[in-house]
Amino acid sequence: MYSGGVSTSERLIESTRALLWERGYVGTSPKAILERAGAGQGSMYHHFKGKPDLALAAIRRTAEEMVATTTAVLDGPGTPYERIEAYLLREREVLRGCPVGRLTMDPEVVADDALRAPVDETLDRLRARLAEVVEEGKEQGELAPGLDSAEIAATVVATVQGGYVLARASGSPAAFDAGVRGLLALLAPRHR
Amino acid sequence: MYSGGVSTSERLIESTRALLWERGYVGTSPKAILERAGAGQGSMYHHFKGKPDLALAAIRRTAEEMVATTTAVLDGPGTPYERIEAYLLREREVLRGCPVGRLTMDPEVVADDALRAPVDETLDRLRARLAEVVEEGKEQGELAPGLDSAEIAATVVATVQGGYVLARASGSPAAFDAGVRGLLALLAPRHR
């Protein structure tokens, strides 16, 4: 999968990220990681303490990327509503699902505080930032003043995460788009 | 796990349902199913063609139960808004996630048209029924007339499915509740 010049540890992390996204933690064997990375049997234990340690490095990197991407959108140009809209409409590989959110369906990630921590922190930071943007929208009169910013932030993130479920169930991004458009219509009636 | 009097095929289906909910299809081995069912090695192939066939029976039963439960709420008493509210606030084992929705994160379910079909059909029926209730709400002046019923139905289902993701990430049902309350506030401002 990877050409020369990239370190073994780097290839292991990137292979693990891809497999976790596709198959989850339970469905990812050390053997599959090594095969995908084109790495020898001993190399995982040379660079990492084992599958959990390697998975943690992979999950942390995926989480950092998600924070960077969502922050860029939510701190970007536009009114508060427009930034929430940009977050919701941001191009995603909808049928692949969320590389962070999907890990919550993995019993071994949820049961392991160390593995769950970066997942929890990432979704938490996203909700916190969204709540600030909702708050701004209320102050500027763009969103209804009676809304609870933290609740709306949870609704926004939930719609995206659940949108992946609908899209993957139907095999089409259309259901994701419908959920997002419904939420946007509810969020700011005067934008309709 | 099961006492006498229940047929082996029944024990196999119920064990598979529990394991699929907890660990997904990829994470559920025939061995684990047989152990949980207290069944012998040959019994799976005596009653079913193999793991996919047994899983299909299990998924179909779980899907039927979900349809029955949600239909009871959405066809129940109350105004359209109250029935959507009842669906959203319906007591769930939030931290266990949705036994149907969680299967969409399973690459082998999504890749197999036969296994994906009952998942897709169940979420589709739910969305269709919710869209009818939203339509009623619009007609009765309880929900905003400009809303697209199919979109709002997708938003409602997505919020629930994504609420599970938030709850499991944080290890607490509070995030699920927040997302649902946010959606209810958006759906019918005059109910706030």
Per-residue pLDDT of chain B (192 residues; tens, 9 = 90+): 555 578 999 999 999 999 999 999 999 999 999 999 999 988 999 999 999 999 999 999 999 999 999 999 999 999 999 999 999 999 889 999 999 999 999 999 999 999 999 999 999 999 999 999 999 999 999 999 999 999 999 999 999 999 999 999 999 999 999 999 999 999 986 654
Beta strands in chain B (DSSP E): none
Q: What is the distance in angstroms between the Cα of B174 and the nearest Cα belonging to chain A?
A: 10
Residues of chain A with confidence (pLDDT) below 50: 192
Query: What is the full DSSP assignment across B70-125?
Result: HHHHHTSSS-HHHHHHHHHHS---GGG--TTGGGGG-HHHHT-HHHHHHHHHHHHH
Give B172 to chain A, closest Cα distance, Å: 11
Taking CB atoms and an 8 Å cutoff, what residues of chain B touch A120?
Answer: 169-171
Give the HSE-up count for residue A3: Cα atoms under 13 Å, Cβ half-sphere. 0
A136/A14 Cα distance (integer angstroms): 38
For the stretch B35-71, pLDDT in tens is 999 999 889 999 999 999 999 999 999 999 999 999 9
Q: What is the pLDDT of residue A192?
A: 42
**Chain A: residue nearest B192 by CA?**
A146
**CATH code for residues A56-191:** 1.10.357.10
Residue B108 vs residues A24, A35, A183, B175: alpha-carbon distances, Å? 11, 20, 30, 29
Nearest CA in chain A to B187: A186
Closest Cα in chain B to A120: B169
Rg (chain B; Cα; Å): 19
* Count of helices and strands (H, E) across chain A: 9, 0
With 0-12 CB in 10 A as exposed, 13-18 as middle and 19+ as buried, what is B14? middle
B144 to A22: CB separation less than 8 angstroms, yes or no:
no
Measured between alpha carbons, how far is A104 from A123 in angstroms, rounded to an integer?
11
The torsion angles phi and psi of B4, rounded to 5 degrees, stand at -60, 170
Cross-chain residue pair B162–A159, CB shorter than 8 Å:
yes
Q: How far apart are CA A120 and CA A2, in angstroms?
A: 30
Cβ of B144 within 8 Å of Cβ of A171? The answer is no
- Contact state of B179 with A97 under an 8 Å Cβ cutoff: no
Contact A104 B165 (CB under 8 A): yes
pLDDT at A188: 83
The domain ranges of chain B are 58-191
Choosing among 3.90.550.10, 3.30.43.10, 1.10.357.10, 3.40.50.10490, the CATH entry for B58-191 is 1.10.357.10
Q: B5 vs chain A: nearest CA distance in angstroms?
A: 31
Q: Which residues of B touch A102 (CB under 8 A)?
A: 105
pLDDT computed for residue A32 by the predictor: 97
Are the Cβ atoms of B182 and A120 closer than 8 angstroms? Answer: no
Residue A189, pLDDT score: 65
Q: Tens digit of pLDDT for each residue in B107-117?
A: 999 999 999 99
Pick the residue from chain A with its C-alpha nearest to B131. A182
Retrieve residue A84's tokens: 């929430």
CB contact under 8 A, B97 and A105: yes
**Chain A interface disruption, residue of B168, B181, B187, B191, most A CBs within 10 A:** B168
Residue B189 has a pLDDT of: 65
Complex confidence, ipTM: 0.95
Chain A hits for B166, Cβ within 8 Å: 123, 127, 154, 157-158, 161
pLDDT score of A2: 54
Q: How far is B99 from chain A (nearest CA, A)?
A: 10
Q: Which residues of B157-181 are buried (b: 16+ CB within 10 A; e: fewer)?
A: bbbbbbbbbbbbbbeebebbbbbbb
CB-based burial, A161-184: b 16+ in 10 Å, e otherwise? bbbbbbbbbbeebebbbbbbbbbb
Distance set, CA A47 to CA A26, A98, B7 (Å): 21, 27, 50
